Structure 1
Amino acid sequence: MSSKKNVLIVLTSHDQMGNTGKPTGWYLPEFAHPYYELEPHAELTIASPKGGKAPLDPSSVEAFKGDEMASKFLAEKKELWENTHMLVKFLGKADQFDAIFYVGGHGPMFDLATDNTSIALAKEFYEKGKIVSAVCHGPAALVNVVLSNGEHLIHDQPVTGFTNDEEDAVQLSSVMPFMLETQMKANGGKFEKAGKPWESQVSVGRGGKLITGQNPASATPIGKEILIQLGVKA
């Protein structure tokens, strides 16, 4: 019997930046880096709201063309995001997994934040004692998750995500349906951030069952933290 853990990785299906006509999607290093941390220790299943091909943000390919790990992932792992499972298939199946992980990119702000299937799935995973994790804009998927006791998943928990300062810096605040940092605070999260924009920050709440990362720099560290909380690595 395999001793490997099972992790469900969720990508956005949304490919347009608001009404700008600019493409968006999931962000390359925020899938690539955690993938290479998790893959030796876990069976990884990839899903998205619509299934099929999940849109890769082309700006992330350009921004991280000098990143060896991202380039390797782009060259060798295309089938992972071109043939995703439909998210709805996994409702009621949290027991088959040890963790769920939401990849960032601006796409999740537009679909996963309000996707009823995703919200139900994150609730189910947490209430079954599984790890719920997300990086950068991925925590948008967790903002509206309300537990059976009526409390937000992030309520009174240390959490992080793409900050207002970082959103302002990339000049996309006006395009966003909401500001992630602002909304995480509004729904009770104890928002944490790195000392400076673009530095790494990983926050752990709910006794290790809620793990969030701030930005692309947090992609490798969150992969490592998920393994620690899974008991795979010290």
Structure 2
Amino acid sequence: MNRFNPHAFPLFMKITIALIVTAFSNCFCFSQGKKILIVSTNIDSIAGNKSGTYLKEIAWPFKVFTDNGFTVEVMTAKGGKASIYHSGDMPEALAQIQNSASFINATLNTLPPEKIRVADYAAVYYPGGHGQYFDVLSDERIATIAVAIHSNGGVLAAAGHGMSSWINILLPDGDYLVKGKTITCFPTWAEKEWMSISAYGKLLPFDMEEVFRRRGARLIVPEKNSIKDPAFTNITDTQNKIVTGSFAFNAQWVAEMVVALIKTQSL
């Protein structure tokens, strides 16, 4: 497997993304629509381990968004079917979302980047899982769309491993998106202790926590004794319209906060 090296992200790619983001921002300075974009993945395994987007991190936010009157569309690098997986018990409420016609339609018929109209969206949300490390993260089209929505006043949000897709996102001025932003992410210690899918981090191309710190993020990461403390796991950077949650179980809260921020902005 080719390993992505965040230290060697090509300069020409950084410049290209920055220029495209600027063009998007200039072209789509319209009022926000009533849609929320979820970014999923087409990758369904890592070294033979079933992966993709973790079901509860996409299903619960999908329900929160739709229950609050938003149309939800899902984007993947290739379009078509999103790769979604589940592990552990399947609560009846989660199964109901998974089996709903609206969720099935959105995740079986995801939009490729070229079908996205930035002005339609009030927010963009990245659910966790490991699949995005190997397609979303390196896709400058998706990065460009996310920055354009955010620059247009939209909320940017993620849960769990979803933040990994932000590692190389650039703003039009050439700074990394996360520079100076207050965020959390899935902790390194948890990756090394819990995540058999990633061979406890060995199959991943970088240490997300370490790279975010080098990118200049104001990172708040829970220790083992604080995983249930929202002060360390539920992080809102209100000034920058960014919401992040450390773990999969924070995804529903992230979605609720996204809705709250959108409603606050519309007052």
TM-score category (smaller protein): 0.7 to 0.9
Give the superposition deviation at 1:206: 6.0
CA distance in 1: counterparts of 2:247 and 2:154, whole angstroms = 23
Structure 1 contact 103–134 (Cα < 8 Å) conserved: yes
CA distance in 1: counterparts of 2:184 and 2:211, whole angstroms = 11
CA distance in 2: counterparts of 1:64 and 1:182, whole angstroms = 32
Instruction: Quote the RMSD (CA, aligned, Å).
Output: 2.2
Give the superposition deviation at 1:107: 0.7
1:80 counterpart = 2:103: no
Structure 2 contact 72–106 (Cα < 8 Å) conserved: no
Paired-residue identity, %: 23
Q: Which structure 2 segments of 5+ residues have no match?
A: 1-31
- TM-score, reference length from structure 1: 0.88
Match of 1:190 in 2: 218
Counterpart AA for 1:25 = G
Matches within 5 A, 1:169-184: 169=193, 170-171=195-196, 172-184=200-212
Q: Which structure 1 segments of 5+ residues have no match?
A: none
Give the superposition deviation at 1:232: 6.3
Could you tell me which of 214, 218, 224 is aligned with 2:256? 224
Match of 1:10 in 2: 39
Match of 1:33 in 2: 60
Give the superposition deviation at 1:136: 0.9
Give the superposition deviation at 1:14: 1.3
CA deviations 1:10-68 (Å, max 9, x no partner) are: 11111221xx22221000000111112111221111111111111112xx2x3241x33
Match of 2:244 in 1: 212
- TM-score, reference length from structure 2: 0.77
Structure 2 contact 33–122 (Cα < 8 Å) conserved: no
CA deviations 1:132-189 (Å, max 9, x no partner) are: 1111111112111111112111101111121101111124211111122122112111
Match of 2:48 in 1: 21
Change in Cα spacing, 1:79 to 1:232, as seen in structure 2 (3 Å) is farther
Counterpart AA for 1:205 = D
CA distance in 2: counterparts of 1:220 and 1:108, whole angstroms = 20
Give the superposition deviation at 1:75: 2.3
1:63 counterpart = 2:63: no
Match of 1:97 in 2: 121
Counterpart AA for 1:109 = Y
CA distance in 2: counterparts of 1:111 and 1:217, whole angstroms = 24
Give the superposition deviation at 1:198: 4.8
Structure 2 contact 170–177 (Cα < 8 Å) conserved: yes
Give the superposition deviation at 1:88: 2.5
- Structure ranking higher in helix proportion: 2
Change in Cα spacing, 1:121 to 1:27, as seen in structure 2 (3 Å) is same
Give the superposition deviation at 1:229: 0.6
